[in-house]
């Protein structure tokens, strides 16, 4: 084991669940082709809501085949465990198993105490149907809810394991159990920043010498009866009459709000010498990461300052000048004020280079996946760096003078490195810099 001062961290596996599919190659092909994953919501009835579209991960049905090739004992365990996994946890496990398969890590052939897991998520909300029977039983003769009945007559009719479905530490728990990961484990619930934060913590864990391999990822959804309503009440959501595929339009002058989506992404992060010793394929190297917060007294995020600080912090750790970046993977929320604040942050940090570095935002293809966004977006950029060229910033038609970025049109070089950033409405931001591994150890 190399000393902590020399420990470099590389990416040896990726797994995703997205509105564009579950297979890395097909997802990237869809991005390059400019396809959208936004369509009519089928997961639940949107009657009575002003919103009927979203980026639904429709290929993920929960069928065991969605988890990729599995050994028979893992199949049995995951099938059994699905009854205590909500959809977000199921997507997390599927992305993790796909990442492990992509990394060539075989169950039983790793050192469990040196293999850990850090996983991020949104707050996980119950489905209304979980309470329907219990609530109905507590109605009085007048049809109103009788609170005094709940403890004795309503609650006992709840599913005994109901709470396990929605605990935000369950994705990491399930993944660790199914794969015998006995190393450091943690769960983060930081909305859209969760994925970048998970990558950062996993990298720090490896660099400290506490683990040789870490699974790092995040899962999230906005395609949910309760979360969709919450987003409509608290966020700028695109509700226009335009074709739904064109509604997510980051940095475009005609943007009118975010599109809601769902998904999960996982990276296998590995200490370089450990990866080389087992003959792993190295897809990228993590060069820097940072997390910063900036908000006002009411906990409303200052996008410009929070994003700018995290971008600068990640570049400082990586030791890279802004001009060396091949591309920027922006948060690209597609909200009026959010995109403006992010663009201002990019100008602050990149300076004159802002006009020459192409900017992509996978949210333009499938919307805001909540906590799942960041890792899926970084996976897309890793693929672009490997393939050598970028996918387009979809639906970018009219430049906004308040957002002076260089939008990727598709086909440009992805470069040798990129920076990806995320931020929450409360001002928590995180950024990660990754680069192409140059094939030199030590």
- Domain residue ranges of the chain, discontinuous segments joined by +: 7-125+166-435, 129-163
Beta pairing partners, 262? 221
| Predicted local distance difference test score (pLDDT) of residue 5 | 58
| Predicted local distance difference test score (pLDDT) of residue 189 | 96
Ramachandran quadrant class, 74 (left: phi over 0; alpha: psi -120 to 50; beta: rest)? alpha
How far CA 423 is from CA of 134, 342, 375, 420, 428, in Å, comes to 38, 9, 13, 11, 5
CA distance 248 to 377: 15
CA-based angle 196:422:29, to the nearest 5?
80
How far CA 207 is from CA of 1, 195, 199, in Å, comes to 11, 18, 12
Fold of 7-125+166-435: Peroxisomal Thiolase; Chain A, domain 1 (3.40.47)
- Tokens 């820097």 locate to 288
| Predicted local distance difference test score (pLDDT) of residue 158 | 87
Q: How far separated are the first and last CA of the chain, in Å rounded?
A: 12
* CA dihedral sign, ordered 221, 224, 226, 229: positive
How far CA 406 is from CA of 1, 168, 328, 350, in Å, comes to 43, 37, 10, 12
pLDDT in tens, the chain (442 residues): 344 457 999 999 999 999 999 999 999 999 999 999 999 999 999 999 999 999 999 999 999 999 999 999 999 999 999 999 999 999 999 999 999 999 999 877 889 999 999 999 998 988 888 888 899 889 988 889 999 989 998 988 888 888 888 999 999 999 999 999 999 999 999 999 999 999 999 999 999 999 999 999 999 999 999 999 999 999 999 997 789 999 999 999 999 999 999 999 999 999 999 999 999 999 999 999 999 999 999 999 999 999 999 999 999 999 999 999 999 999 999 999 999 999 999 999 999 999 999 999 999 999 999 999 999 999 999 999 999 999 999 999 999 999 999 999 999 999 999 999 999 999 999 999 999 998 765 5
Taking alpha carbons only, the member of 274, 218, 167, 225 closest to residue 45 is: 225
The Cβ-side half-sphere exposure at 308, using a 13 Å CA radius, reads 19
- Tokens 């339009």 locate to 249
CA distance 216 to 372: 11
**pLDDT tens per residue across span 232-251:** 999 999 997 789 999 999 99
CA distance 259 to 25: 24
The Cβ-side half-sphere exposure at 293, using a 13 Å CA radius, reads 11
| Predicted local distance difference test score (pLDDT) of residue 3 | 41
Please state the pTM of the whole predicted model.
Answer: 0.95
For 140-283, where are the E strands, in sequence order? 185-188, 213-221, 262-271
What DSSP letter does each residue of 107-127 carry, written as one string? TTSS-GGGEEEEEEEPPP---
| Predicted local distance difference test score (pLDDT) of residue 362 | 98
Tell me if 96 sits within 8 A of 6, measured CB to CB. Answer: no
Phi, psi angles (nearest 5°) of residue 48: 90, -5
Instruction: Give alpha helix (H) positions in 262-372.
Output: 272-277, 303-318, 336-350, 363-366
């Amino acid at each position: 084991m190399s000393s902590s001062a020399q420990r470099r961290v590389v990416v040896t596996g990726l797994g995703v669940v997205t509105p564009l599919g579950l297979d890395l190659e097909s997802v990237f092909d869809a991005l390059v082709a400019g396809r959208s994953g936004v369509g009519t919501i089928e997961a639940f009835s949107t009657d009575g809501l002003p919103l009927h579209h979203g980026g639904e991960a429709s290929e993920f049905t929960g069928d065991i085949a969605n988890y990729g090739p599995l050994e028979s004992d893992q199949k049995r365990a995951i099938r059994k465990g699905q009854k205590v996994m909500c959809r977000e946890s199921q997507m997390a496990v599927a992305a993790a198993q796909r990442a492990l398969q992509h990394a060539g890590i075989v169950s039983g052939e790793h050192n469990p105490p040196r293999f850990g897991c850090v996983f991020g998520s949104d707050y996980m909300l119950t489905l209304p149907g979980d309470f329907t029977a219990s609530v109905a039983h507590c109605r009085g003769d007048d049809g109103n809810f009788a609170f005094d009945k709940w403890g004795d007559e309503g609650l006992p009719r709840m599913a005994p394991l109901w709470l396990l479905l929605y605990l935000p530490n369950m994705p990491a728990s399930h993944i660790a159990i199914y794969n015998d990961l006995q190393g450091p484990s943690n769960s983060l619930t930081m909305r859209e920043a969760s994925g970048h934060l998970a990558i950062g913590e996993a990298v720090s864990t490896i660099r400290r010498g506490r683990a040789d391999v870490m699974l790092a990822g995040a899962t999230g959804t906005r395609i949910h009866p309760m979360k969709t309503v919450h987003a409509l009440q608290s966020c700028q959501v695109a509700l226009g009459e335009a074709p739904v595929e064109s509604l997510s339009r980051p940095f475009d002058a005609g943007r009118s709000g975010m599109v809601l989506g769902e998904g999960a992404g996982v990276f296998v992060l590995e200490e370089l010498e450990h990866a080389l010793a087992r003959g792993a394929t190295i897809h990228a190297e993590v060069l820097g990461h940072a997390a910063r917060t900036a908000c006002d007294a009411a906990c409303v995020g200052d996008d410009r300052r929070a994003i700018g600080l995290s971008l600068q912090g990640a570049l400082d750790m990586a030791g890279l000048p802004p001009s060396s970046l091949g591309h920027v993977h922006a948060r690209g929320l597609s909200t009026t004020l959010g995109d403006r604040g992010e663009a201002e942050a990019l100008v602050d940090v990149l300076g004159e280079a802002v006009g020459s570095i192409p900017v992509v935002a996978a949210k333009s293809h499938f919307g805001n996946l909540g906590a799942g966004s960041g890792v899926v977006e970084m996976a897309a950029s890793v693929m672009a760096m490997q393939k050598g060229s970028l996918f387009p910033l979809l639906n970018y038609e009219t430049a906004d003078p308040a957002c002076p970025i260089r939008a990727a049109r598709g086909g440009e070089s992805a470069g040798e490195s990129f920076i990806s950033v995320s931020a929450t409405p409360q001002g928590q931001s995180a950024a990660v810099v990754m680069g192409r591994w140059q094939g030199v150890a030590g």
